[in-house]
Structure 1
Amino acid sequence: MRLSVILLVACAVLVPTLNGELAPQECPSACSCHYYRVHWVASCSHRALSDVPSGLAPTTYMLELNGNALTDFFVDPEVKLRRIVLTNNNLKTLTKRNFKGLGLLIDVEVSGNQLTSISPDTFQGSPGLITFEARRNKDLTGPTDDSPFLESRSLQTLDLCDSGISIIGSNFFSKTPSLRKIILSGNPLRTIRPGAFAGLQGLDELHLANTLISHVAPADFAPDPPLRVLNLNQNRLNADKLKTLVSKLVHLEKLDISRCGLTLKASHVGTFAHCNWLHTLDTAFNDLSGLDLTRALGKLNHLEHLDLTSCNLNEKSFKSDVLSNLTRLRTLKVSDNTLGLINMTSVLQPLSKLHHLSVGNCQLRSTKFLRELPKVRQSLRSLDLSRNPLGDQEVNTAGTIFNQLESLDVSYCGLTTITKDAFSPAKNLITLAISGNKVQIESGALSDLTRLEKLYMRECNQRGAPPADVFPPESKLIELYLSGNPLDLDQNQVVPQHLKNLQVLDVSECYLRKITASSLVGAQNLVKLEASGNILSSLDDALPDLGTLAPKLEILDLRNSRVRRITPEAVDGCSRLQAVYLEENPLQCDCYMARLWQWAISKGVALHERRGSALLRCQGQAELWPKPLDSLIC
């Protein structure tokens, strides 16, 4: 009978109006509500709420309460929620009382709170729970004895990243037998007790990056573990114990052991010998100079993605036949290795399916090896040549090397001029990075790049955006990155009319004292404006009327820009605005800022990211917002 009632209500809700649209449902006055596909979503984020608002529609599918002041919560069980998001509040504990009556819950997220404990029976009344995320709760330590963390037979994904868990006991997961994905990265893990994962017969992914462990033992898993993805990066691993572990994980498809302080020698040549199904291997920032990579990688016939960045490669470890058996390779990253004396033509010859090649900072002085590899050039779609001393001649005359590329990075390559012929063959380019080159750009230099969407020009000694004669007549540029340039916005534009399709603009660390209206004349489609790290110290005229100039703006980043105050009028016309980031500024707590705070609450606009401790403070005061504003009489 109860199920019939629910179905009748759901059908009534989904009856379209005469114009074909779904009829609106109830919505609390403190929230904004909308349909996502056919699901009713209540967005009540960044409203300074201390309680869950009343008036939610019974058929509300998703409730968003991010960035509020909740220390506890309770949702009317008449609301048939499937998903609830409570990130960046002040929750300290979770018990089954918080989720009483929410029997249809599928996903719960409580990241970025102040949780110290979660009762194991918290989700006893939610038998269909699939995903639980509790990232960035530094005081959440979990059970220190051998008891289970949670009880949920349906739970498949558990994310406890960047919390305070130091011990994983043998029974930590004993009451969550259906887990397929576990994320424990960023926890101060010191101990994983034997058999910790042994009861998880379907465990597919395990993420243990950036913890304090030195090894994971085969005895921690079930016999013949089905694990496909293992992430151990940024740990201090023991190379011998790693070899023992990997030999048992015969179903691995993706392994990340980057930044683990490993020194792999001749005795470790068989470390990956049993990983016959491995398609992604990341060993970046380890010392592989003593390892014969030809033998170590020779049996990985299914490998598609290989990262050997900063592995101290040399002629002994990186021989000309090192990749001869890896004919399926699509991504190869060997940046930050000295490859100037290695025959790169021979190394890359077998890789006719290569799509992405990264050889940045390899002391390369020529692109000749690419000219000699026509099959590789035909397949290549992304090429990173950054931080090599190539100079103008090599880049501006590279010609047909670039003709199939969609992404090219020649940042910090000693360029002084980009000629109109440099990239003319690269008609398929979507992303181009020329950062770190003090360049003069000739007229027509990018005019053939009719598909170009992203342009990186950081630290290029530019005063403004490139002029119209550099681009095609109808530029499709969507993202422009100008950070680190000495921009002069009194004389130049950063979103001129010829870049009217621009959606993302980065002018961070550009010594800006103000952002002028004249510099944003083409900003009608701008969605994100990054202006952090500037010197916008003026009280009232640091920002123009962005509602008129950039009405579609969603994100405005003003962090660490010496902002003392801004008025709501500068951004009130931006109807889609989601956030104005003001952290690390000497904010002057006066009635102007009190008005901004009240306006932000009424619109649901975030004024900080709420990550770590960099929240909003008034200049000279220790208390966080909004306490200093509450005492003002305005």
Structure 2
Amino acid sequence: MRLSLLLLLLLLPGPSPALGMEEDASFPHLGESSQPPPRACPPRCSCPRADTVDCDGLELRVFPDNITRAAQHLSLQNNQLQELPYNELSRLSDLRTLNLHNNLISSEGLPDEAFESLTQLQHIYVAHNRLSVAPQFLPRSLRVADLAANEVTEIFPLTFGEKPALRSVYLHNNQLSNAGLPPDAFRGSEAVATLSLSSNRLSYVPPSLPPSLERLHLQNNIISKVPRGALSRQTHLRELYLQHNQLTDSGLDATTFSKLHRLEYLDLSHNQLATVPAGLPHTLAVLHLGRNRIRWVEAARLRGMRGLRYLLLQHNQLGATGLPARALRPLRGLHTLHLYGNGLDRMPQALPRHLRSLVLPHNHVTMLGARDLAATPGLAELNLAYNHLASARVHRRAFRRLRALRSLDLAGNQLTQLPAGLPASLNTLRLQRNQLRVLEPEPLAGLDQLQELSLAHNRLRVGDIGPGTWHELPALQVLDLSHNELSFVPPDLPEALEELHLQGNRISHVGPEAFISTPRLRALFLRANRLHMTSISPEAFLGLPHLRMVDTTGNPEQVLVRLPPMVPRRPRSVGA
């Protein structure tokens, strides 16, 4: 789905230096054809088809001779070429793909007339070279041009202008300023859908961008302003990346984004905005405003955005009154809300009913009331780690309505006991770095779907763990009890357990029946305890046929460990 692709883009810094190469479907792969290679092929190169010459990664310093005139696809990437000889290149009039990625070609080594005879050229890749200016003339037939990761400071009108078939242009990681982009840089090129100008020296959004744009990358520049009307013709734009710039509220106005009626993804993170921009398109599915200076979310700015799925407001300056209830209620389609790293002292009120993920760590939330989460029964992920929650201020019915909750993170708070009323649907529960001193079976009753439980960095002793506690967790596979005050392995651990963390405790002895209840154990961590050479009984692991790792480093002495013999896998029957 499209939203899955957009989510992935949130975690990336921008287009890769050779992003344009992803659109080349025309260069054949080696071994694609069973035909014998043609007789005329440059030394050491590969010619799997009559129209293909592959000289990739041969440390070539000179343009190869003996390239067939019939060549349509020529790869010279990953060599040490410094120039392209006009007389050799002009012979290849049928060339459709020219790959020069990752060489040492300078603008002086790329004469303006080099491409005059290449009237069929559709894909050119010159990324990761040493061009200081773009070629003045590129063929009219061009579809994809990748000049990324050079030292380009100037583009000419006919570099990308008058190219009716041009679809993708990659200029990221260069040294382009606004002065190096002529106002008619894309005149006559009305099909450009992707333009990457990220990681340059642009101080404002260039005017006269192609109206056909669908994806525009402008991140990692020094943009402080979007001139009025600069984006008024880009009515097909679906993705706009403006993160890591110097945008302030005065650099935008109510009309900046108002014409972008198809915009789905807008990234304005890592700027200097103090408010949510006005005039945002109602078509947005992802709005990234993290790492700004936003103190207050004005309700009117998000009104009508019923299709918004992901709202990211992490690492801003939202305080106690920064998120009024009426601001979020209209976002009926909101799936994920990221608010970590702000100054909120309580749960946001009137959350959208269909919210699935609420990420709120590193705030100042001190309490969780009975109805704070009542409006979001479909919540599947709740992260309240590293707040100021104390057990006395977490209501026993706080989680009562969360019947779909799969992951609950309460790490780094001030809890002294497990919260009551935990949802039976939980799959993961994180309670590390609290002040837990007791573990009773009652709060864990009914958690028969829980597979991962972290209780690390608390104050638990074996005597503080009530009898029958682990019997309440029949599906538990990963248990982290590291960095507590355990003096021996807790008894009666869950039978389904596969991974057990006990590092950083006070364990000095492991008896023969320590793991009798955990026959499926695969990994055991015992490092940094008080074990000596013979502290572990030789019979301790006899009933663990799946055990493959025991970590005992960092103890006072090297510990002798004998793993049980590997269980042979049963052969799979045909048709199974």
Q: Does 1:142 align with 2:191?
A: no
Q: 1:425 to 1:303 in 2, by over 3 A?
A: same
Residue type at the aligned position of 2:427: H
Decide whether the 8 Å contact of 1:64 with 1:84 is kept in 2.
no
Note the 1:396-475 alignment, pairs <5 A.
Answer: 404-414=475-485, 425-426=495-496, 428-429=498-499
Q: Which has the larger radius of gyration?
A: 2
Q: CA deviation at 1:236?
A: 1.5
Aligned twin of 1:174: 258
Change (3 A) 1:257 1:457: farther
Aligned to 1:308: 384
Structure 1 residue 373 and structure 2 residue 450: aligned? no
Q: Distance in 1 between matches of 2:181 and 2:425?
A: 53
Aligned position for 2:452: 382
1:282 and 1:29, CA in 2 relative to 1: closer, same or farther beyond 3 A? closer
Distance 1:134 1:459 in 2: 49
- Name 1:598's counterpart in structure 2: none
* Per-residue deviation, residues 230-283 of structure 1 (Å, max 9, x unmatched): 11122122544521312333332222222221233xxxx8x5336111111223
Any residues of structure 2 matched to 1:38-57 within 5 Å, and which?
Answer: 44=101
Q: Deviations over 1:167-208 (max 9, x none)?
A: 332122134331111111111113555x331xx131112111
> SS in structure 2 opposite 1:294?
coil
Tell whether the 8 Å contact from 1:441 to 1:470 is kept in structure 2 after alignment.
no
Bigger fraction of residues in helix: 1
Is 2:245 aligned against 1:163? yes
Query: Residues 49 and 225 of structure 1: is their aligned pair in 2 closer, same or farther, counting only changes over 3 Å?
Result: farther
Structure 2: how far apart are the matches of 1:259 and 1:187? 16
Distance 1:422 1:60 in 2: 65
For 1:163 and 1:457, locate their aligned partners in 2 and report how far apart those are by CA, in whole Å. Answer: 47
Per-residue deviation, 1:122: 2.9
Residue from 197, 209, 221 that aligns with 1:122: 209
The C-alpha deviation readout for 1:82-111, integer Å capped at 9, x for no partner, is 656555443434747666787665444444
Deviation per CA, 1:502-525: give whole Å up to 9, x if none.
xxxxxxxxxxxxxxxxxxxxxxxx
- Per the TM alignment, residue 394 of structure 1 is displaced from its structure 2 partner at its CA by 7.3
SS state at 1:245 partner: helix
Distance 1:43 1:399 in 2: 62
* Number of equivalenced pairs: 441
Task: Label 1:305 to 1:191 Cα distance change in 2 as closer, same or farther (>3 A).
Answer: closer
Cα 1:120/1:456, change in 2 over 3 Å: farther
Tell whether 2:109 aligns with 1:26: no
State the match for 1:227 in structure 2. 308
Matched, 1:354 2:417: no
Give per-residue Cα distances to partners, 1:495-551, cap 9 Å, x unaligned.
xxx9xxxxxxxxxxxxxxxxxxxxxxxxxxxxxxxxxxxxxxxxxxxxxxxxxxxxx
Alignment-derived partner of residue 260 in structure 1: 342
Closer, same or farther: CA 424–332 of 1 in aligned 2, 3 Å: closer
Partner of 2:323: 242
Contact 1:418 1:440 in 2 (8 A): no
- What's the offset of the Cα at 1:155? 1.7
**3-state SS of 1:357 partner:** strand
Instruction: Indicate yes or no: 2:288 matched with 1:207.
Output: yes
More deviation, 163-172/17-26: 17-26
| Unaligned 5+ runs, structure 1 | 1-8, 33-39, 463-468, 492-497, 499-634
User: Could you say if the C-alpha distance between residues 27 and 296 of structure 1 is closer, same or farther in structure 2, counting changes exceeding 3 Å?
Assistant: same
Matched, 1:92 2:177: yes
- Are the structure 2 counterparts of residues 187 and 375 from structure 1 closer, same or farther at C-alpha, using a change threshold of 3 Å? same
In structure 1, C-alpha distance between the alignment counterparts of 2:305 and 2:130, rounded to whole Å: 47
Q: Give the deviation of 1:121 after TM superposition.
A: 2.2
Deviation at 1:147, TM superposition (A): 4.1
Q: TM-score, with normalisation over the residues of structure 1?
A: 0.56
- In the alignment, what sits opposite 1:251? 333
Is the alpha carbon distance of 1:86 and 1:43 closer, same or farther for their aligned partners in structure 2, counting shifts above 3 Å? farther
Matched, 1:297 2:373: yes
| Equivalent residue number for residue 567 of structure 1 | none
After superposition, what is the alpha-carbon deviation per residue over 1:43-100, rounded to whole angstroms, capped at 9, x for unaligned? 935x566569889994649x5836x666554594544226565554434347476667
Give 1:276's aligned residue: 353
Two-structure CA RMSD over aligned residues (Å): 5.2
Give the corresponding residue for 2:215. Answer: 131
Q: In 2 relative to 1, CA 458–225 (structure 1 residues): closer, same or farther, beyond 3 Å?
A: farther
Equivalence for 1:545:
none
On the 8 A contact 2:305/2:331 being kept in 1, the answer is yes
- Provide the rounded CA distance (Å) in 2 between the counterparts of 1:85 and 1:416: 61
Partner of 1:540: none
The letter for the 2-side match of 1:254 is T
Superposition deviation, residue 112 in structure 1: 3.7
Q: Which 10-residue stretch deviates more, 303-312 or 77-86?
A: 77-86
Distance 1:43 1:28 in 2: 5
Q: Which residue of 1 aligns with 2:267?
A: 183
The code of the aligned residue for 1:80 comes to R
Unpaired runs of at least 5, structure 2: 1-23, 37-47, 55-72, 81-96, 145-166, 532-539, 559-564, 566-576
- Asked whether the 8 Å contact 2:243–2:270 carries over to 1, the reply is yes
Is the contact between residue 148 and residue 173 of structure 1 (CA under 8 Å) also seen in structure 2?
Answer: no
Partner of 2:143: 80
Contact 2:195 2:217 in 1 (8 A): yes
